[in-house]
Amino acid sequence: MIMNKSQAKSGTGLPGEIETKMRGKGPMTLKQISVLVDKDSFMGRGKVVQALGGLQSAGKIKMNPAPAGTPQLQKVDHITYEVI
């Protein structure tokens, strides 16, 4: 987590790649972001989630929560992220 946060601040590594590829696009789901950075596997999505956490803690992206009433197991499909 510390490495992702420092990479997010400096714009390098996977967090930097995600930020640059998301720039100019609207809110995107985890699946869309994973496909965008060619990490569309179970392990790849985990790495993307960690990178998004680093970007969020650095204040570079914001997370839009799933609508109220969304079942717990489907929230991952409805949560969106966008570059600030």
Contacts (Cβ under 8 Å, ≥6 apart) of 11: 19, 20
Q: Is the pTM of this model over 0.85?
A: yes
25-84 per-position pLDDT tens digit: 999 999 999 999 999 999 999 999 999 999 999 999 999 999 999 999 999 999 999 999
Domain coverage including residue 27? 2-83
Can you give the CATH number for the domain in which 30 is found?
Answer: 1.10.10
C-beta separation of 49 from 6 below 8 A:
no
Q: Please tell me the total count of domains within the chain.
A: 1
